Amino acid sequence: MASYGMLNLGNARTAKSPENRRKITNGHGRWLGRVKPVLGWPLLIAVLFWVGATIVMVVGDEPLPYSVGKVLKQPVLSRVTFERIDELATEKARTDAQHAVPSYYRFNTSLVENIQTEFREIRTAAKAAESFEKFLEKHAGRWSIKEEAFNELKSTADTTVTDAYRSNLDKLEKVLLDENMVEGIRDMRSTSDHVILSDPNGKFRKVATTKLNYASNPDQVEALGDRVARNVFMTNRRVQPVFRMVIDKAIKISPENQQFRPVYVFDAAYTRARIEEAGNVPPVKVIYARDDQLLPKGPVTNEALALLKSEHEEYLKQRNNDPLLFRPWRNKRISISGIILLLSIGLSIYTAKTQPNIIHRAPRAAGVAILLLGILLIERFVILRVSDSPIWCILPVSMTAAILAIAYSRLFALGAAGSLALMTSLMLGTPHGMMISMLAVITATVLMLKEIRTRMKMLEVGGVASAVAYISTFLANLGEGEVNFFGDPLYAAIASMAGLSMVQVILPLIERAFKVTTSQTLLEWADTSRPLLRQLIEKAPGTWQHSHLLGSMAESAAEEIGANGLLVRVGAYYHDIGKTCKPNYFVENQEARMNAHRGLAPTMSLLVILAHVKDGLALAREHGLPPVLHPFIAEHHGTTLVKYFHHMATQEAKAAGNRGREISDTEFRYSGPRPRSRETAILMLCDGVEGAVRSLSDPTAGRIEAVVHDIMMARLMDGQFEECDITLSDLARVEQSLVRSLRAIHHGRISYPTANEPAEPAQAKTA
């Protein structure tokens, strides 16, 4: 059924004038009337959005359309000839070169010094002893030698013999240098088959590992001592046992634990330096020609992705100088620009159809355009730089769908967020599977976001959207030959939940930026602990009872016709807050026989009554009442007539003898505006019928129904619903709902008997 606003009689009379008829029938005027609303700011914003989206998508480097785990359906060929360092081959060459470095050992000069010192001390002790018995008595704990060896050492007083001993000791170092005893292979990573031994003069000697002796082997240590003792004192066999004992004492650190001093010790610093030097190998480079196969079919690994990145970087360098590369790139950019133009036109038309208030208000149109462009910028220059996987773009897309559904309508959010998903998929060059996932998440988010009344709502929406994201991504990947229960499906679910959780956090900023009020905010303002409601309850309790009753009635009526019941209920709570300024001038706050208007002229009383609308708006602005509730204060009386004081003024005029002068009703009307929404129209009806029914002495069901119908028809014929989209069918259903509510409020009561009065039969009373 057509809305009553379309039956505006005043507009119809104006349209019948000859001048207006010529304007309407004129083809040029009709065309201009249709085009004019979209000219100016809306058209400029649409053009700027197209230019901005095109710049974001075509300017800058092309994103790499590959990620780890992506399954390639066909081999990837190189678009350019390029040279790439093979990191794995280079690392292998470096490791091989380092492992080939032999271990370096330096001569243990301290071992020679210990042996020489020990031998000189035993010779000195033997020379100083008076007899062999005295020597044993004093040095048996340190040295255990035979008497013939003692006598030999004792004879060193002779200069010739002393020189011979000195010569033998000097030969000790040369004998040890030829010994290949090391402390052990310290660098187990080395693959060399030889080691390098260095003497005190810095000369190196290469020795095969098969010819080495080890200080950790007791047998080889014993053999070493024997060889050294024989070679040093080759001609003096009586001293050899003494010298052998000296060698043991110098070499053996802890015989019980098999710890011995080696002839050559491991030179860790020198070996490490040679290893680092060997690691400075030139990088291994691989040359790929154009059309060479880079990757076969199958999943993309980390190494494969690195190869693709190298090829992509070289492609970006050569693209502008190579006609074979530049021409396809240019054509692709022109194609993207054209597609974005079509999407911009379609989105503009869709916005005009589903959310015309955006088209007619430049700030709102600019806000939506900035939001969509901002999301594209985040996807292009933030997400793709942080992560290699474009699946994380689901996060800002789901956020955008939720923001638009909260700020405007679910139908508009579905189309706008869907357009964003198409542009995102086009920009990223992703397969159709990801676009399907984004559209699925958008649909689930929008359909679930009818209203937000609890803090858990966004988590519930996020849970459903995450499940949809996981399933749709898994099925899309399955269709492309990838069976993966984790990876992209899991990331898509996490991105959806994260996006909608962030919306919950920034919800107050969304409300302020888009100047919208969610159900959760309305519930907060419905709390009677709010200062404005507390003021109303304390200063005008009768008005509060009236407002609270209207809230229940209006909410039921609004839900009957599909309007916003919560909005009209909270609006009813605040519609009469202006009465707190002069509460005693309103009948619901007056005590019996205490009429504040007594003695006032009707015009003065009228000013007080009319002022409660203006005072209410001032209080609303002072206390920061959400703008969506202001119309309930300004429009709940519309431009209706204040009949009581108009009647009093007429009677006073007649009593004064002014019978020829009629009091114009225009002087006794509210300044308006008339209701501009179904919710404020419902509140107007509720306000009128509640007061009228309350004044009935016997509110029977029939009288209630008659009063409601009469007041509704009076408002209808007075033109109060011409500026809102409520239909006659809606009014009929609202009327039925109000009748039911008022019947429930004013139902009959059983009179309880007194102590001396018998109770009447219950069936005789009206229930």
Binned at pLDDT 50, 70 and 90, residue 651 comes out as confident
At 363 the pLDDT is: 82
SS3 content of the chain, % helix, strand, coil (to 5): 65, 5, 30
**Torsion region of 67: left, alpha or beta (phi above 0 gives left; psi -120 to 50 gives alpha):** beta
Asked if residue 657 and residue 545 are part of one domain, the reply reads yes
Among 278, 293, 309, the domain-final residue is: 278
What is the number of other CB atoms lying within 10 angstroms of the CB of residue 695?
10
Asked if residue 463 and residue 342 are part of one domain, the reply reads yes
**% pLDDT > 90, the chain:** 20
Distances (CA, A) of 229 to 152, 161, 244: 16, 18, 5
At 754 the pLDDT is: 59
Could you tell me if residue 77 is inside a domain?
A: no
Could you tell me if residue 297 is inside a domain?
A: no
Write the CB contacts of 577 (distance below 8 Å, at least 6 apart in sequence): 532, 535, 536, 616, 619, 620, 633
Binned at pLDDT 50, 70 and 90, residue 3 comes out as very low
Asked if residue 527 and residue 488 are part of one domain, the reply reads no
Asked if residue 473 and residue 363 are part of one domain, the reply reads yes
Asked if residue 484 and residue 628 are part of one domain, the reply reads no
Instruction: Read off the tokens for 271.
Output: 């070996």
Asked if residue 426 and residue 331 are part of one domain, the reply reads yes
Among 497, 516, 535, the domain-final residue is: 516
Asked if residue 550 and residue 645 are part of one domain, the reply reads yes
Number of domains in the chain: 3
Q: What would the pLDDT profile of 50-80 be if each residue is shown by its tens digit?
A: 898 888 887 766 777 777 777 777 888 888 8
- The answer to whether the pTM exceeds 0.95 is no
> Which residue has tokens 């200063």?
539
First to last CA, the chain: 38
Distance of alpha carbon 125 from alpha carbon 38, whole angstroms: 119
> Which residue has tokens 């609270």?
548
* DSSP class of 586: S
Could you tell me if residue 19 is inside a domain?
A: no
At 763 the pLDDT is: 41
Asked if residue 274 and residue 165 are part of one domain, the reply reads yes
Asked if residue 598 and residue 694 are part of one domain, the reply reads yes
Could you tell me if residue 387 is inside a domain?
A: yes
Average pLDDT over the chain, rounded to whole?
80
SS3 286: strand
Among 494, 516, 538, the domain-final residue is: 516
Q: What would the pLDDT profile of 115-163 be if each residue is shown by its tens digit?
A: 878 778 777 887 778 787 877 777 776 777 777 777 777 765 455 556 6
Asked if residue 235 and residue 365 are part of one domain, the reply reads no
Residue 286 or 185, more confident? 286
Could you tell me if residue 622 is inside a domain?
A: yes
Instruction: Read off the tokens for 162.
Output: 């002393």
Find out whether 732 and 739 touch, Cβ atoms under 8 Å. no
Q: Omega of the bond prior to 673 within 30 degrees of 0, cis?
A: yes
Asked if residue 529 and residue 512 are part of one domain, the reply reads no
Q: What would the pLDDT profile of 241-276 be if each residue is shown by its tens digit?
A: 777 777 777 787 766 666 778 888 888 888 889 988
Q: Taking residues 167-182, what's their average pLDDT?
A: 80
The dihedral built from the CA positions of residue 573, 576, 582 and 585, taken in this order, carries a sign that is: negative
Whether the pLDDT of residue 39 is over 70: the answer is: no
Distance of alpha carbon 668 from alpha carbon 665, whole angstroms: 5
Could you tell me if residue 75 is inside a domain?
A: no
Domain with 536 in it: what CATH number?
1.10.3210
Could you tell me if residue 406 is inside a domain?
A: yes
Range of the domain at 259: 99-278
Instruction: Read off the tokens for 326.
Output: 């530049």
Asked if residue 535 and residue 649 are part of one domain, the reply reads yes
Write the CB contacts of 268 (distance below 8 Å, at least 6 apart in sequence): 186
Find out whether 725 and 678 touch, Cβ atoms under 8 Å. yes
Q: Taking residues 489-496, what's their average pLDDT?
A: 89
Q: What would the pLDDT profile of 681-712 be if each residue is shown by its tens digit?
A: 999 999 999 888 888 888 888 899 999 999 99
Distance of alpha carbon 397 from alpha carbon 725, whole angstroms: 33
Q: What would the pLDDT profile of 560-597 be if each residue is shown by its tens digit?
A: 999 999 999 999 999 999 989 888 888 787 775 567 77
Instruction: Read off the tokens for 701.
Output: 């069901």
Whether the pLDDT of residue 22 is over 80: the answer is: no
Could you tell me if residue 726 is inside a domain?
A: yes
The dihedral built from the CA positions of residue 354, 355, 360 and 364, taken in this order, carries a sign that is: negative
* Amino acid in the structure at residue 152: E
- Strand 293-295 and strand 285-288: the pairing is unpaired
